[in-house]
A and B are shown apart, each in its own frame.
Chain A
Amino acid sequence: MSEIYSREYWMEDLEVPEEILPFLEKPPRLLPGDNEHDLYRLFELMVNEIIPDTPVEWLVTIDLAWLWIDIQRYRSFKNAIILQNRKSAIEFALAATDPAAVVGMNPLLRGKARIDAETLRTDANKRNELTTRLQAHGYDDDALNAAAFVQGIEPLVAIEKFLASARHQVAVLLRELGIRREFARRAKEALDRFLADLKSKEQAIANTPGSDTEAGSQ
């Protein structure tokens, strides 16, 4: 057996056509959280599931796998945006509810709010005190989430657009592949039926007495 995810592996074990190899051979740029084996495993699963048998189907299969990877990456990106905005929403709420705050907000309070936010995240003992303070001013989990979403609405809308576009592409490709497969299956069945019909007619003619002379006279 050849080395996993090598050229030989793709060609011999998974029977990937040589013309398709350039799409698999070049190692993809890995992002934090990505794992090369996971990415290739996805290709493997896709190939085993779809069982492509024409170059077009191979191309579509690889495109589908990449679209799924894109969707995964966009999701991580979206989570990062939500986390980031939630962090700054908490900082804002802590600064606004700080007992030392008199009028407006000054840079010192911002710095203190940042430390408080970190304490809220890491220090279990002080968490209750800070949560109570926030809740006393109406900042519960829902309010903080809402504030985070409002703050990050612009990037979130953009990332949602990318996600929707990638999902739409997956749907289009699957539909296309399904239609073609269905067409190919129906075409093959029709051809098989036609050939079987032709064969039985030929047999019937061959079994008819004097068929040779009849066929010859026609």
Chain B
Amino acid sequence: MISVRKLIANRRNASLSTGPRTVGGKLRSSHNAYRHGLATAITYDASAAVNIDRLVRALTASSNDYGRIEKARVVAESHFDLARIRAAKAEILWRIGNFENADNDDLIRVLNTIENVARYERRTRSKLRRALRAFLDA
């Protein structure tokens, strides 16, 4: 059991460090856990969202069938997601520079990072395959 004085001091000290308070600080700390951004839904990307809407309209030929529109949306989102994943993979490979001169440890590190990204790709591809089949069979 700690003393009352110590308890008060602990509470006072804790109140001094309760995280960022300014808008800028909150914005910065919101990116603390950011790694590659692939876990975020593609629709949060404003420019991708506009392109997705256009692609959905093209896929459904401006149909009013809600079910068909939803399936087309999954297909379109998955394709833009794949484009984002491809860009992330290229970025990782680009960082290593010339493959021939790369150190073995660097190659292994890059492979591990690609494996992390490949997880998202596998997930997106299986979602796309299901959605595409449902969309074409509808």
| B65 partner residues in chain A, CB cutoff 8 A | none
| A9 partner residues in chain B, CB cutoff 8 A | none
| B94 partner residues in chain A, CB cutoff 8 A | 29-31
| A56 partner residues in chain B, CB cutoff 8 A | 59, 75, 132, 135-136
Dominant SS among interface residues on chain A: helix
Dominant SS among interface residues on chain B: helix
Give Cα distance in the complex from A85 to B90, angstroms: 23
- A residues contacting B by CB (< 8 A) are 17-20, 22-23, 28-33, 55-56, 59, 63, 66, 70, 73, 76-77, 79-81, 83-85, 88, 152, 154-155, 158-159, 162, 165, 169, 172, 176, 180
Contact, CB under 8 Å: B90 / A19: no
Give Cα distance in the complex from A158 to B114, angstroms: 10
| B114 partner residues in chain A, CB cutoff 8 A | 162
B127 within 8 A of A: no
How many chain B residues touch the partner (CB < 8 A)? 38
Contact, CB under 8 Å: B136 / A77: no
Give Cα distance in the complex from A80 to B111, angstroms: 12
- B residues contacting A by CB (< 8 A) are 51, 54-55, 57-59, 75, 79-80, 82-83, 86-87, 89-91, 93-94, 97-100, 102-104, 107-108, 111-112, 114-115, 118, 122, 125, 129, 132, 135-136
Pick from A19, A23, A73, A81: contact of B83, CB below 8 A.
Answer: A23
Give 22 pairs: A residue, B residue, CB < 8 Å, sorted on A.
A18-B54, A19-B51, A19-B57, A22-B80, A22-B83, A29-B91, A31-B90, A31-B93, A32-B97, A32-B98, A56-B135, A59-B75, A63-B79, A66-B86, A81-B104, A81-B107, A154-B108, A158-B112, A158-B115, A162-B118, A165-B118, A172-B129
| A29 partner residues in chain B, CB cutoff 8 A | 87, 90-91, 94
- For B99, the closest partner residue in chain A by CB is A80
Pick from B80, B107, B115, B118: contact of A84, CB below 8 A.
Answer: B107
Give Cα distance in the complex from A154 to B105, angstroms: 12
